[in-house]
Amino acid sequence: MAVRVDLMISLDGFATTMDQTPEVPFGEDWPRLVGAYTATRTFRERVFKDTSGAGTTGIDDDYAREYFENVGAEIMGAGMFGLHNFPDDPNWRGWWGEEPPFRVPVFVLTHTARPTLEMAGGTTFHFIDTTPIDALQQAEKVAGGKDVRVGGGATVVRDFLKAGLVDRLHVAITPILLGRGIRLWDDLRGLEAGYTVKSETAPSGTIHLTFRR
């Protein structure tokens, strides 16, 4: 059982873009930031339901496959679920359609109570108003001995990192400069202490960094 994070950030450290509009819910920068990841065979199959076998293989795809392996529960912030974009819509069911790619219990951190959502394929969204450590304990209880992932966004991940709760942090750095958004690395001086760090580069130019303890 490990607590894991996987995030994509730009070279200047932005994990979340800030130019969302109703028409472009993730923002115009999003495709460039996550392009190498969404191009992988694993992502296309798992998220886009593309079973044609299309998509890139190699280092990026290896990390994409690892992303979905051995996860028993997920924790995410309200923003990642879309509650900042659709705060007043009681029928909002997330970005991922009726069969989300998680396939495990997902705990959404929010101050506003919502009824639990049972989706197809094994994903259940629970909405909880609590601390990182308590959310983690709730997630561990239902993870069946598998890992718990802290999915994002950047602010939630930073809260868990600051609280010393993350065992494995995988960051994929896209070599572009966004110049705006939410920074992953703020106020994390000395985070590397207690972790071993591995870095690896993919032909796409993506730099994969893994902090492991």
Residues that bind a copy of itself (CB under 8 A): 11-13, 173, 175-180, 185-192, 197-201, 205-207, 209
Give one word for 201, left, alpha or beta, with left for phi > 0 and alpha for psi -120 to 50: beta
Nearer to a copy of itself, 8 or 173 (CB): 173
Nearer to a copy of itself, 53 or 179 (CB): 179
- State the nearest-atom distance from the C-beta of 20 to a copy of itself, in Å: 17
- Integer-rounded Cα radius of gyration of the chain: 16
Q: Rounded CA gap, 77 and 107, in Å?
A: 8
Q: Which residue has the tokens 């939410």?
A: 182
Nearer to a copy of itself, 128 or 207 (CB): 207
Nearer to a copy of itself, 123 or 210 (CB): 210
- State the nearest-atom distance from the C-beta of 39 to a copy of itself, in Å: 17
- State the nearest-atom distance from the C-beta of 77 to a copy of itself, in Å: 21
- State the nearest-atom distance from the C-beta of 201 to a copy of itself, in Å: 4
| DSSP characters over 57-83 | -SHHHHHHHHHHTTEEEEEEEHHHHTT
Beta bridge partners of 118: 124
Phi, psi at 56, each rounded to 5°:
-75, 150
- State the nearest-atom distance from the C-beta of 187 to a copy of itself, in Å: 6
Nearer to a copy of itself, 130 or 199 (CB): 199
Give the pairing of strands 168-174 and 207-212.
antiparallel
